[in-house]
Structure 1
């Protein structure tokens, strides 16, 4: 592959999904959402918090960098990393959004947080951590390795693309690299598989963050 994430060439693509292509299907176990011309893949119907996941094996390729991007949608009322039962559990539904990890036990790579609100709401409790006035704080295992965007209740507003952002989201939507996330582990190499999970800490009738596009590369 050509230059990605400002880190030269030599990339190998591990994962790709583009639901605007009607010949493509959701990964096994994911539920298809179809509304307003959007096709996206989220959690199976559930009455509580959950995650649905897909693994991407490295096929024995040793790598020290991960680069990728994910686009999704805000369904009803996700609220990023508002403090839920599993708030500090990387292995559970710690986010309303997408969790990208590698290996077992899981090691955090990137988190993409979704929220309904793109203006300050509920005293900042349901806003992205990067919104001025938000009371949310990323988990210690997430740190600065996240993107977050609010949709203002608009299903068609693509999340994590850095576009159609409100003034409150200026910091969120100017995050370095957006929409591309990048991890560089220096001289440390691994053959770990990469896992993508769509998670939310409440029932699907209340919130979800289905994805409509992703691509992930390693080198």
Structure 2
């Protein structure tokens, strides 16, 4: 049995016995009427529970002390979890974690178009169509009655961010999708067009910037939100079909790693791969909604999502509905 599974088995076994003692104690109270007998029962049960709790603590400590090498060796999901394992929750430890953490590993992912399947660790899984999910730290809940929606947006102009931990797992490929709504009039790459001195650390886009690392951030993918379906200037997507002479500028530090879309009158979602008409400003060359990014070199950096806009949220916002990110 694997060490992490062994620890979990010991934990479940002893905690189950603790629960049984508690139930036994409660049922015993109903049958005992004399105060002295009640005291003896409570005292005996309390001692048994304390003994079991001590056994649990000692057992886990023993396993961690005697198998510390195995517990700190899982730095690559694709290497250390066999490819024939099913997708699901796994307990892992890395050099960055002091105790095992539970992560979801997808062994059959094919939607990322990364020419590989197994060995993906999910680091972000936000679906605001689920009423039980909440916005991640740093973003605010945005709701609307018509059409009905629950999304996560910014508080003010600039970039607001949330960070997804990779738990120190080394990865070199990132795949995922982000689906959002257009609110008012976001202007695509206009912030960078207006100030070519902006860097990846600045508000260079109206939309979402996905990065890893800091000072400077390292680019993964950019999700661009343009103003509407008919614009043919710098406020539109670079791939606008009617616009053969795009006058805007794509920031050189993102290259071709971006999606760009605007809502249409019939379709409100952005970057979902749907609702693309003949005059859509939708970029199809990167095959949305799923992106796949091969990094220049492996890293263990956490992944940061920044929701950006250079104007107030009453003028432009990109509230997000779905965030799903995997690393390998």
Using the size of structure 2 for normalisation, the TM-score is: 0.61
Change (3 A) 1:12 1:88: same
Deviations 1:99-154 (A, max 9, x none): 000112210100000123112x2x42311111131322210011100000011367
Q: Which residue of 2 aligns with 1:22?
A: 131
User: 1:168 Cα shift?
Assistant: 2.7
Say which of 129, 134, 154 aligns to 1:43.
Answer: 154
* Aligned-partner Cα distance in 1 for 2:143–2:293: 32
Q: Does 1:214 align with 2:317?
A: no
CA contact (8 A) 1:42 1:211 kept: yes
**Relative contact order, CA 8 A, sep 6+: which one is greater?**
1
Point out where structure 2 has 5 or more consecutive residues left out of the alignment.
Answer: 1-105
Q: How does 1:1-219 map to 2 (within 5 A)?
A: 1=106, 2-4=108-110, 5-6=112-113, 7-35=116-144, 36-44=147-155, 46=156, 49-82=157-190, 83-85=193-195, 88-105=198-215, 106-119=217-230, 121=231, 123-132=232-241, 133=243, 134-152=246-264, 157-169=268-280, 172=283, 174-185=284-295, 188-219=297-328
Give the match's secondary structure for 1:204: coil
Give the aligned CA root-mean-square deviation in angstroms.
1.9
Residue 188 of structure 2 aligns to a residue in which SS?
Answer: coil
Answer yes or no: is the 8 Å Cα contact 1:84–1:201 preserved in 2. Answer: no
Larger Cα-atom Rg:
2
Q: Which residue of 1 aligns with 2:30?
A: none
Q: Give the distance between the partners of 2:321 and 2:282, measured in 1 at CA.
A: 24
SS at 1:26 equivalent:
coil
TM-score, normalisation: structure 1? 0.89
Whether the aligned pair in 2 keeps the contact of 1:81 and 1:87 (CA below 8 Å) is: no
Q: Is the 8 A contact 1:86 1:94 kept in 2?
A: no
CA contact (8 A) 2:237 2:282 kept: no
Using a 3 Å threshold, how does the CA distance of structure 1 residues 71 and 138 change in structure 2: closer, same or farther? same
Please identify which structure carries the higher strand content.
Answer: 1
Structure 1 stretches of 4+ moved >4 Å: none
Maintained 8 Å contact 1:13/1:217: yes
Q: Structure 1: which 5+ runs fail to align? A: none
